[in-house]
Structure 1
Amino acid sequence: MQTAPFIVIEGLEGAGKTTALGHVIDWLTERDIEFIQTREPGGTPMAEQLRELVKAIRDNEKVTAEAELLIMYASRIQLIENVIKPAQAQGKWVVGDRHDLSSRAYQGGGRGISDTLIEPIRQAVLKGFEPDLTLYLDIRPEIGLARARKRGELDRIELEQMDFFNQTRDKYLSIAQTEDKIETVDAEQKPAQVGQQIKTILSNYFDKG
């Protein structure tokens, strides 16, 4: 049975995911399409608790890269099974703030966890579930982090060194270049240009169908 589409917004801190989500929502609203919003990590009561665990700053305990990865996938599958799939089955489109590409970029690229560990976990947990379209907002880390700092206090992951974010961006770009369901958006453009690019991509993907 065909289900409603799942669209995801991805990108580094300060890339403008919230604004991009607004453009997607405007596009859906203009077409009277029913939708829900989600975020990762989080989106269910249990997943929100896992979000707090993974983002909190701890002085007395190091969060290992592997523990971080597993928490992300535990949160993700709770969201998929309890929120995303039921909404799709009801004909509601789902608009997500982050999904699996984040783990591949942040834990795979930034943390340096090998694909030989990540891929079996992905396959076992997700069982082939994936977004219909991912909009990756590309931005240089120094620009994105400068924007993020203006928002206020940073969480544990946002406080990582610049090398971490450069490696994360490199992984994002590498994956985006090889997977046809990922579209790259230049997040350093003027906001109006970003919005127009997003709406053009959405129309090319969905209006024809």
Structure 2
Amino acid sequence: QKATSAAATASELERRVAELDARVREMDARARNAETRASAEADARRRAEDSARTAESSRKECESRAREEVAKASLALQHARSEFEMTEAGASSREASLREAIDAERKRAEAAAMDARRLERELSSARSDSTALRAARDGAASQLENELARMRAALGEAERAREAAESSARDARAKTSAAESEWRAQASARAAAADGARRDAE
């Protein structure tokens, strides 16, 4: 009976060891998935920051073009005024031409300014999106780190439980072997005693 009980205990402990091994593998897989999600969040944040930098570069370029257009318009106006002061011949036609040139330059400058404002709005929107993504990424990263910490703690507990179960299983197997040896020794002794009694009887 002792040997049977020890064998049953050893079998139960081996089953628990197998279950703990399965839990350890499952936790390892969940930890790898969490690390993959953290990497994907970091990639999304980098893409958002690249978009923000691109928008900032475009805005600066448009502002530079707008300043160049304004400078050209100013130079054109100065040149036109100089020509107007140098001669009054054809003043009316020249004045009309100058007004047209000024209007054209003003329209170009206004268009450039509108482009600059539009790019400024796009940049502001991109910055807001980047801030939101960064906040979401930080929150997700913190959550993932906490989850990883919990998983690692659970993994350590499962590993320790598995080691304890393996140790118990080894002890149970040793006890089973000792019980079997004791039973065999007792059986041999009883058989020897029976043989001696039989010979005495003869």
Of Structure 1 and Structure 2, the greater strand share is in 1
Tell me, yes or no, whether TM beats 0.5.
no
TM-score (norm 1): 0.20
TM-score (norm 2): 0.21
Whose RCO is larger (CA < 8 A, sep 6+)? 2
Larger radius of gyration: 2
Of Structure 1 and Structure 2, the greater helix share is in 2
